[in-house]
Amino acid sequence: MPYSTPDKTTLVTGANGFIGRALLSGLVRGNLEARAAVRSRDNFRHDDFIKHVPVYVVKDIGPATDWTEALDGVKSVVHLAARVHIMREDAKDPLAEFRRVNTMGTIQLALQAAAAGVRRLIYVSTIKVNGEATFDRPFLEDDILRPSDPYAISKWEAEQALRRISTETGMEIVIVRPPLVYGPGVGGNFLTMLKWIERGVPLPLASVDNRRSLVGLDNLVSLLMECLSQPRAAGETFLVSDGEDLSTPDLLRRTALALGKSSLLFPCPVTLLHMAARLFSKGEACERLCGSLALDTGKAQRLLGWNAVSTVDAELQRTADWYQRRRVSAM
């Protein structure tokens, strides 16, 4: 489906991040005006697709951030900048720090955006607002929300604040809740998985029978572009995924195939995996590997006519190709 042109310029916050750079490239490919907001120009790398995108440095994101210059003349904002889940948390009060950036920082941006005449703000939240696991059915947009960790709570509170600001100012809000996002440039647990497969690490996960939704970069960017252009997106919340849920063993095997490697999986009772994880304080990691977290993307399909533009295998291949290029360049 062709995109309608958003009014004037779209500001992308967190533009030097994994998703931000891909979205900027998508906007430029679509001949749409874009600008980037970053905390530091030192961390922003231009490539062929975004070399002419104006860059605005906003420094620290929180309740006192000045977005005035970056918002001047902007009609749409995609807010990606956030304090994300940290594996080795060192803040004395993690919830307060997440709230400072993700909740208060988002409120500050939204209030200034409304005052500057921004028509629509798209907020990229997280499926963790819905909860950590699914059981008898996939998550839906209108489920009772159960955020449990500081990151998810801060995102949920930001969603609530944005809806209030929309009511008070008339600025349109669109909320998108992705699951784990992967693609070229991915980090975190997905990058660790790529390293395990590349090194031939045997993994005791062959007996895991779960279903997890993921979303590749191309598919997430395509939905964000739809949310920028379609009038029917205003005021709505959307879940997004690749449209094919995978078990952990299936994900490992298909990623290994993309890497040209063998997946060395062996069976182990899932109850034993959970016991060992608790013993080594790795319960959350074990749940992500063994539990289910599935999303229903039917609303985006019905309301926007959106469907995933790329298959899981194509997205995994793009990710694997990037990873192998990265390894070669690091040698």
Each residue's pLDDT tens digit, 139-171: 999 999 999 999 999 999 999 999 999 999 999
Active site residue 323: no
Crossing angle (nearest 10°) for helices 105-115 and 150-169: 20
Q: Specify the pLDDT at position 43.
A: 66
Mean pLDDT of the chain, nearest integer: 91
Average the pLDDT over each of 19-23, 47-51, 221-225 and give the range with the smallest value.
47-51
Structure-block tokens of residue 42? 């030192």
Decide yes or no: CATH 3.40.50.720 for domain 9-185+214-242+294-309: yes
Cβ–Cβ contacts within 10 Å for residue 211, how many? Answer: 16
pLDDT over 70 (residue 115)? yes
CB 123 within 8 A of CB 103: no
| Choice between 331 and 204, residue whose per-residue pLDDT is larger | 204
Q: Are 303 and 236 in contact (CB under 8 A)?
A: yes
3-state helix, strand, coil in the chain (%, to 5): 45, 15, 40
Name the residue type at position 5: T
A 10 A CB-CB count for 38 gives 22
* Residue 237, H or E segment: strand 237-239
Measure Cα distances from 68 to 75, 132, 302 in Å: 13, 37, 37
Show the tokens assigned to 248.
Answer: 């952990």
pLDDT band at 51 (very low <50, low <70, confident <90, very high): confident
Q: What is the pLDDT of residue 5?
A: 46
Q: What is the 3-state secondary structure (H, E, C) of 173-204?
A: EEEEECCEEECCCCCHHHHHHHHHHHHCCCEC
What is the pTM for the complete model shown? 0.93
Residue of 3, 56, 123, 151 with catalytic role: 151
List the single range of 7-21, 109-123, 135-149 with lowest mean pLDDT.
Answer: 7-21
The pLDDT value recorded for residue 93 is 84
- Rounded-to-integer distance, Cα 219 and Cα 224, Å: 9
| Domain boundaries defined on the chain | 9-185+214-242+294-309
Decide if pLDDT at 283 tops 70.
yes
**Strands (DSSP E) found in 82-224:** 120-124, 172-177, 180-182, 214-216
What pLDDT, on a 0 to 100 scale, did the predictor assign at position 6? Answer: 47
Integer Cα distance of 17 and 82 in angstroms = 10
Residue 178 in contact with residue 129, Cβ under 8 Å?
Answer: no
Q: Which two tokens stand for residue 95?
A: 């919830």
